[in-house]
Amino acid sequence: MKLTLPQGRFDVNDESGEIVVLVAGGRPPSSEWLRQVAGTYPVWAIDRGADICLRAGVSPKILFGDADSGSADAWQWAKDLAIPVERFHPDKDYTDLQLALQGVASREPDKTVLLTGGLGRRFDHSFSNVFSLMEAEKVGVKSIGLADEAEAIFLLRGGQSLHADFMKLPKVVSLLPLTPVCENICSQGLHWSLCGANLRLDSPGGISNRLAAGLHRLSVSVGNGCLGIYFCWEE
C-alpha cells in the first residue's frame, strides 16, 4: 500500500486496495492540504466533514451522518450537487464514523481508509476514532490511519512494516502500542532506534523520538500487535 501526502510518501507492505479519504468533523485539515490530497484520492464526508469540504472547494463522492453537527448550508450544498447521502437518525448505537466505515464495507469493500478531521478538539472523539478504525477490520474494512497537515497516526499490524520518505520532516516521532503488547519492534532512521523491542500499552516508552540527524526517511516494523506510528509536524 502506497500513500502520498503533502508531507511525504508512506509505504506499508500490505496488499490493500486503493485509498479513500474520509473527512470527519474533528480538527479540520487545512484547505490546501485537503485539496492536494483530494487531487489523488476520492473523498467521502461525514457530517461536519461536509463543511470542511465546502470550505476547501472539494466535492465529496458521498455524505454520511445524522446532520447534528454539519451546517444546513453544507448539507444543502451537497444536495445541490446531487451528492449521494446516507442520513442516520441521531438516536443510534454507533458513531457517524462507525456507520460510515460500514458504508465503506458495503459500497467499496476493496478500499483502504485514511481518516482526516479525526484528531484534535475532543480527546474522546480522537480516542474513539483510532479504535473505530482498528475495529473496522472485523467488518472487512482496512485502514492506514489518521492524518492532516499537523499530525498523523499510521496503524501497523503484526507482520507489517512502514517505510516513510519525508518532504517535510516531522518534529516528533512516537511509537504507540494500541494493543496490550506490541512485540518485536524494529526501527531504522530514528535517533533512538529499536531492535526486537516490546512495548506495552500500560507502560508506553516509545514517545518523543525523532529522526536521526541528517536523515529524511525511516522504517518501522512490528512482529505482533497493533502499533501506532505517530508523527507531529505542527504543535
Q: Give the model's confidence band at 65: pLDDT under 50 very low, under 70 low, under 90 confident, else very high.
A: confident
**What contacts 123, CB < 8 A, 6 or more positions away?**
none
Query: Which pTM was predicted?
Result: 0.93
- Tens-place pLDDT, residues 93-137: 788 899 899 989 888 888 999 999 999 878 998 999 999 999 998
Q: What is the mean pLDDT of residues 67-90?
A: 85
Contact criterion met (CB below 8 Å) for 90 and 40: no
Residue 79 main-chain phi, psi, to 5 deg: -65, -45
Q: Which of 122-136, 175-189, 192-206 has the highest mean pLDDT?
A: 175-189
Q: What is the mean pLDDT of residues 65-77?
A: 83
